[in-house]
Amino acid sequence: MKRVAVILACVTLVATLLTGALVWQLSRTPAPKHPEISAYTREQLVRVGPYRYCDVFVITDCDVPKTVGTLAVSWRNPIQLSVPPAIARAPWVLIRAYEGDGEPAVSEFRPNSTLAVTIPTVDARRGRLTGFAVQLPTLVRDAQNNEFPWPHAEWSIATIWP
């Protein structure tokens, strides 16, 4: 009976120490200032902060760290893009750029519709994927009173081919 009590006390002590160490480590790493997207392919994961992030109400008040992630790709493995709920709660846009001078491929997503998208690295008509961006559009009005969507935030990832 004493032996079981000693083992339980040791397990409790170790669990308490590990929990304390985890809490200490997590409190040392500050949360990112802005949401980050992540992309995964071929055992690589990249997390990227925004290239540009503007205030929704004052579209000219921007933080522009110009962050661009890179991801080595191949024709075999698609990319799994994940956006956090902070992005997915709003309407968001995925823009895929391909080799050549063609138009980029644009996909629009409704609020709360998806947190992940699979992106093929090769398109039969457009060729190889050179990069992609996630944008959060905001409706703005110009001097002539025309209303149109303008991205107030953008995240960007470039692809690297072997």
Name the band, by pLDDT with cuts 50, 70 and 90, for residue 101: confident
pLDDT of residue 158: 98
Say which residues have a Cβ less than 8 Å from residue 154's Cβ, sequence separation at least 6.
Answer: 50, 51, 52, 53, 133, 134, 135, 136
pLDDT per position as a tens digit, 107-155? 999 999 999 999 999 998 899 999 999 999 999 888 999 999 999 999 9
